[in-house]
Amino acid sequence: MKTPLIYKRWPAKHPDRIQLYSANSPNGIKVSTALEEMALAYEPHTVNIFEGEQFTDEYKSINPNSKIPAILDPDGANGKTVAIMESGAILIYLAEKSGKLLSSDPIEKNACLQWLFFQVGHVGPMFGQFEHFDKFAVDKCQDPYPKERYRKEAARLLGVLEARLADRDFIMGSGYSIADIATFPWVRSVKEICRDEDYLGMAEFRNVGSWLARCVERPASVRGINVCVLV
């Protein structure tokens, strides 16, 4: 088999394992946590996004969109090596591979996927923009409009989660799932990164706060958060 191009920059010590290329950002934490929860053998490789490693030809050979995370599974369908980009797609792939954290019941599975895409399409983009204007663009953009726009939408999305968690410990009533794994790193991030937590009103979302604590305290989460750490 031809050696994957990505191995030239990130050599695989254990090529028989799933190769994870990531950083400990919210999207990266999703996949490392899932791998830990599912007890799948994997080898992590840190992609230094601050130095632009995601734009190298080696990384783009498995993720042409130059975003983390991405995985390379040497034991894909029909025994073929498969590369997967996009954290949501990776979570589904790993859940189906392991048979964990995604129900096989069609109705339950569909509901879980709806909440997964709620994170992918709304929570991630909106929280990310809020964090950007609240912390990283403070000296670059004096206009209050973008920060306030994303604050309102982030708060609205927290309200959606708050209502969902009113009568359950996790997003799915049946228990912990890839919907939780996809979402908690972003809620954790916005809580930790916001310069003024009161500005977003995090304390008002008590159900979300309790749920976040349950997610973060899981042993697999503790391990997943500390994979591919950028110094």
Residue 199: pLDDT band (50, 70, 90) is confident
Residue with tokens 């923009």: 129
- Mind giving me the DSSP string for the chain? -PPPGGGGTS--S-TTSEEEEE-SSHHHHHHHHHHHHHT--EEEEE--TTTTGGGSHHHHTT-TT--S-EEEETT-GGG--EEEESHHHHHHHHHHHHT-SS-SSHHHHHHHHHHHHHIIIIIHHHHHHHHIIIIITTTT---HHHHHHHHHHHHHHHHHHHHHGGG-SSSSTT---HHHHHHHHHHHHHHHH-S-HHHHTGGG-HHHHHHHHHHHTSHHHHHHHTSS---
Phi, psi (rounded to 5 degrees) for 65: -85, -5
For residue 15, whether the previous peptide bond is cis, meaning omega lies within 30 degrees of 0, is no
Whether domain 106-220 has CATH 1.20.1050.10: yes
Most distant CA pair in the chain: distance in Å?
A: 55
Give the start-to-end residue ranges of the domains of the chain: 5-101, 106-220
The string of pLDDT tens digits covering residues 121-171 is: 999 999 999 988 887 777 788 788 888 899 999 999 999 999 999 999 999
Please report the pLDDT score of residue 196 as a whole number.
Answer: 59
Tell me what pLDDT residue 195 has: 61
> What's this model's pTM, rounded to 2 decimal places?
0.95
Q: Is the pLDDT of residue 198 over 90?
A: no
In CATH, what is the architecture of 5-101?
3-Layer(aba) Sandwich (3.40)
Residue 46, pLDDT above cutoff 90: yes
